[in-house]
């Protein structure tokens, strides 16, 4: 029930706050609705999650293009998908949950096939952030204490969601009081036909990347930057997602579909195109730009129709895709990868924007 409501008006849109639910300990979870002239996005304080993004198809019909749940209890019950969440302190995997920094070895919780995934057993996705309305959006703040999930340093995180015409922009700002590693990303699942409208296998994907980071049987990068040329991972030209997903390829077999990191062109920190997705049914196009060096393209391989929450809402395999802009998985254990180290006195800023448009038939 939406119990309380405040509205902050800005030049290009509005920001509305309401209560979305309560944690088991009684803490309130708020949801912020951001509206521009082109899209509507809803962001909640539990996991700093994107709950919905509504945008128009080629006929002007609005629909929600991200997966999620209609009620808060669905998110509480679902401990595996990370729908819409900011994942951290380290998004993606760290091998065996171990890394060394400044001569000290750190042990993280193991929660995925012998590795540490998305920050550990109690990651940023399962915490209540502090929300604050800002111009055209909301700022989510979280302070992760020293030794939280085994990571060194007190980390202060600000994630700002803002809407501008047909775009949702995410800005990440992090700082620490001790040497640490950090890799934040958003784990939204997109289906440009609309939530619940079949699979994404007929959508077209373009990823302007010449290399990807192949993985071992536990989905840890081998350290090699492999060329996409001649492989099912070549999306340099728009390609139907389902056209090669079942090919006899060891990397596809390991993940049960696409779930690997692409090495984006351009320097780390420079704005670059990470991906472009086109849905021929609705005409919707989503263009992803980022300052991050990589993007993890995931085809929802682990979604299996499990019902969650009182509404028993479920999502099937390949019913959505993720484009997680990020540093490479397991970077702390691969010195040749772009570094994820953060030192006291540094403030790291990264940005990702999801821009929506349409194509005529």
- Secondary structure (DSSP) of 75-90: HHH--SS-TTPEE-SB
- The Cα 45–Cα 19 span in angstroms is 10
pLDDT digits (tens), the chain, 361 positions: 333 333 333 345 799 999 999 999 999 999 999 999 999 999 999 999 999 999 999 999 999 999 999 999 999 999 999 999 999 999 999 999 999 999 999 999 999 999 999 999 999 999 999 999 999 999 999 999 999 999 999 999 999 999 999 999 999 999 999 999 999 999 999 999 997 789 999 999 999 999 999 999 999 999 999 999 999 999 999 999 999 999 999 999 999 999 999 999 999 999 999 999 999 999 999 999 999 999 999 999 999 999 999 999 999 999 999 999 999 999 999 999 999 999 999 999 999 999 999 998 8
Residue listed under structure tokens 């006291």:
344
Tell which residue, 326, 10, 250, 243, has the closest CA to residue 137. 10
Answer whether 108's CB lies under 8 Å from 117's CB: no
Read off the pTM: 0.95
Q: Which residues of 129-146 are buried (b: 16+ CB within 10 A; e: fewer)?
A: bebbbbebbbbbbbebee
187, 315, 327, 334: the catalytic one is 187
**6-358: what fold?**
Beta-galactosidase; Chain A, domain 5 (2.70.98)
324: annotated active-site residue: yes
139, 204, 292, 324: the catalytic one is 324
């Amino acid at each position: 029930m939406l119990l309380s409501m405040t509205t902050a008006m800005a030049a290009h849109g509005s920001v509305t706050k309401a209560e979305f639910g309560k944690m088991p300990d009684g803490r309130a979870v708020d949801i912020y609705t951001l509206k521009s002239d082109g899209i509507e996005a809803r962001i909640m304080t539990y996991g700093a999650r994107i709950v919905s993004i509504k945008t128009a198809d080629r006929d002007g019909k609005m629909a929600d293009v991200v997966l999620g749940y209609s009620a808060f209890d669905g998110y509480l019950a679902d401990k595996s998908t990370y729908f819409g969440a900011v994942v951290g302190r380290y998004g993606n995997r760290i091998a065996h949950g171990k890394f060394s920094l400044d001569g000290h070895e750190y042990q993280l919780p193991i929660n995925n096939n012998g590795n540490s995934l998305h920050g550990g057993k109690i990651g940023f996705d399962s915490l209540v952030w502090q929300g604050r309305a800002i111009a055209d959006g909301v700022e989510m703040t979280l302070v992760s204490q020293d030794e939280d999930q085994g990571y060194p340093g007190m980390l202060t995180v600000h994630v700002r969601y803002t809407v501008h015409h047909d775009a949702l922009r995410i800005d990440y700002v992090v700082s620490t009081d001790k040497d640490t590693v950090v890799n934040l990303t958003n784990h939204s699942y997109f289906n440009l036909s609309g939530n619940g409208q079949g699979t994404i296998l007929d959508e077209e994907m373009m990823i302007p990347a010449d290399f990807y980071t192949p993985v071992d049987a536990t989905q840890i990068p081998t350290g090699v930057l492999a060329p996409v040329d001649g492989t099912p991972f070549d999306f340099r030209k728009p390609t139907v997602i389902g056209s090669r997903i079942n090919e006899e390829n060891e990397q596809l077999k390991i993940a049960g579909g696409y779930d690997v990191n692409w090495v984006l062109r351009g320097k780390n920190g420079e704005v670059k195109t990470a991906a472009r997705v086109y849905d021929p049914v609705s005409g919707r196009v989503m263009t992803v730009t980022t300052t991050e060096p990589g993007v993890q393209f995931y085809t929802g391989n682990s979604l299996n129709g499990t019902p969650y929450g009182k509404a028993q809402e479920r999502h099937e395999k390949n019913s959505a895709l993720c484009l997680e802009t990020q540093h490479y998985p397991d970077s702390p254990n691969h010195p040749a990868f772009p570094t994820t180290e953060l030192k006291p006195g540094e403030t790291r800023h990264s940005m990702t924007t999801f821009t929506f448009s349409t194509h005529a038939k």
